[in-house]
Amino acid sequence: MPKHSFAGLLLLCAASVWAAIPRAPAGAPGPYDAKAWRADWPGCPWENGVSEGRLSVVSRPAGNRWRVDYAPGHIGPSEGGAAWNQSFEGRDDVVLSYVVRFSADFDWRRGGKLPGLGGGPGKTTGGRRADGINGFSVRPMWRADGRMEAYAYHAGQTKDYGDSFSLPKTFQLPRDQDVNIRLRVRLNHPDRADGLLELKVSYDNTSAEVTVQTMVWRKAATLRADKLLFETFHGGSDLSWAPARPCHAEFGDLRLE
């Protein structure tokens, strides 16, 4: 049996933590069916959008990407986008990064969700309020005219739906151009409001960010960041959020640190 240094063992453990998170789809360009999805995301108990045919694989110079098609006139992942959650070993500090590219005809409408992070035993999205024990979630969100924010369900929220933490209003997302997303969550001490939320968005020579250092993500030390929320769809709670025309987005170079 090979011997490893203590530092080497730590690296091996870290690698195993993220092993279930693919950086890109493994298959050839073309339709992305349930078989390909299960191979890339082993252990995911459910999905929206794959079985319905709204995902495919596209090739870019830097590698393959997932393409998600958004259905005109629909909101939410079950009818208009895609969603699945991949668990990973719990951590108190985690960074998710990826590249997204919105189609040249992308319809921002009123807004929609992008992949983010979560934790805990419960599902804290869609109006299911976080209480510091059942879980938390945070997802980047595009808004009308390509504005951008972090949308979070956290123990400090005062209403059923999540809170918005907006990037500067001068920042706008581009269409038909690679955009880099970097989302960091550092959980708070259970008795303090010292958690971190950090969202950085950049393309070409343009960048913007929002940082909040007083988040209350949890009220118990057992609650940790342990889920990648691959969720993207228009909405919103009613059809005023739905896209009026077909559009799509690409996702690739997915990383957890």
Closest by CA to 119, choosing from 151, 97, 141, 87, is 87
CATH number at residue 244: 2.60.120.200
Q: Is there a domain that residue 195 lies in?
A: yes
pTM above 0.85, yes or no: yes
Write the DSSP symbol of residue 109: T
Is 182 domain-assigned? yes
* Structural domain for 242, as ranges: 6-256
Nearest to 228 by CA among 48, 42, 49, 85: 85
* CA atoms of 19 and 111, how far apart (whole Å): 32
Q: Is residue 1 situated within a structural domain? A: no
**Predicted confidence pLDDT, tens digits, the chain (257 residues):** 344 443 443 333 334 445 579 999 999 999 999 999 999 999 899 999 999 999 999 999 999 999 999 999 999 999 999 999 999 999 999 999 999 999 999 999 999 999 999 999 999 999 999 999 999 999 999 999 999 999 999 999 989 999 999 999 999 999 999 999 999 999 999 999 999 999 999 999 999 999 999 999 999 999 999 999 999 999 999 999 999 999 999 999 999 99
Domains in the chain: how many in total?
A: 1
Residue 16, helix vs strand vs coil: helix
Question: Does the residue 40 lie in any domain?
Answer: yes
